[in-house]
Structure formats: structure tokens, C-alpha cells
Amino acid sequence: MKKYKVLFVCLGNICRSPSAEAVFKALIEKKGEEPDFEIDSAGTSDYHEGEPADQRMQKHAEKRGYNLTSNSRPLKTEDFDKFDLIVAMDDNNYYDLKEKARSLEDEKKIVKMTDFSRKFEYDHVPDPYFGGSEGFEIVLDLLEDAGEGLYHHMKSTKN
Ligand code: 4NP
């Protein structure tokens, strides 16, 4: 069977998208479907290339049982070929991705994480980098909620 391939994208790939990757991987593992999915994350910038996830983000994620293991990498053009869905955390990420898209086919793969929210009414996953600990908790709340919605979207639309 062909895998479902999803790439989570934020600005630095050290806070939100590595968390989205870990939260979504945990959700898929819980459902016993990890062989059917390929899950990765990237940044629209290369500001933190090669760095592990932000220490504060790691600490908050660990409290909920998520291990952030990825190292920051910038988005590559080939990501548009490889992935079925490219999931932006906020509008800046979304429009940066749209600018990098080479075709309508690429553009169609770009969505926003909060499009799949079920409980929360946020229209983006807020950047926690310059704020306090509450911001990191909100990121995780939003990702857990939208992750479920994204899973159901992928299952219902994949042919
Ligand atoms: P992220 O958070 O996009 O969720 O990884 C940020 C990381 C770094 C910066 C901004 C946001 N920065 O300005 O360096």
C-alpha cells in the first residue's frame, strides 16, 4: 500500500513543526498505523539548521510523553514531490510555502494545521518562541486536537 506522507512546516523547525511531527507520530502509533505513514517536519527558514528542538519546547512536550528527536532542516523543493500534504502552522508559513510552490499541483498540497481543529477556534498555531511557558502548552493543545482531525481528513481523502 502507498504511504500517506505528511510534512509539518513552521518558521524555525525547532518549536511547532517538530512538535507536530512528534504528536502526529504518537497518534499514528497509538492507532497501530505507523507502517502506513511517513511523517517529517521542516522550516521555511534555515535560521536553526542542524539544531535540535528548542529546550523549552522539548521540556513541555516531554511532560506529555512526546520525545522531540528531529534536527532542524529547511524546506527543499523536492518536498513538494515527496509529500502528499504540507501542513503550515500559521499564515506566514502558508504564504511562504505558496511562494515556493512550482505549480498548482504543489499549491494544492498546502494546508494549515488549524483547518483540522475540532475543539479550538484558533486560526493558526501561535509562534511560542518569544513568549512564556503558556505558549508552549497552547501549541501542544492545538496540535493534539488538530492532529486527530488531520488523521481523519487523510484517511477520508486518500485514494
Ligand atoms: P518555530 O519557532 O517556527 O515554531 O520553530 C521559531 C523559532 C525560531 C524563531 C522564530 C520562531 N526565530 O526567530 O529564530
- Digit-coded pLDDT (tens) for 14-66: 999 999 999 999 999 999 999 999 999 999 999 999 999 999 999 999 999 99
Whole-prediction pTM: 0.98
Where along the chain do its domains lie?
4-156
CATH class of 4-156: alpha beta
Handedness of CA 73, 77, 79, 82 (dihedral sign): negative
Pocket around ligand 1 at a 6 A CB cut-off: 10-16, 47, 127, 129
By alpha-carbon position, which residue is closest to atom 12 of ligand 1? 12
How far lies 94's CA from each of 44, 88, 113, 124, in Å? 9, 5, 10, 10
Known catalytic membership, residue 145: no
- pLDDT value of position 1: 75
21, 23, 72, 127, best to mutate for ligand 1 pocket (most atoms within 8 Å of CB): 127
Cell numbers placing 116 = 483540522
- pLDDT value of position 159: 55
Known catalytic membership, residue 102: no
- Whole-angstrom distance, CA of residue 80 vs CA of residue 9: 12
107-156 pLDDT, tens per residue? 999 999 999 999 999 999 999 999 999 999 999 999 999 999 999 999 89
Q: E strands within 11-159? A: 37-43, 85-88, 110-112
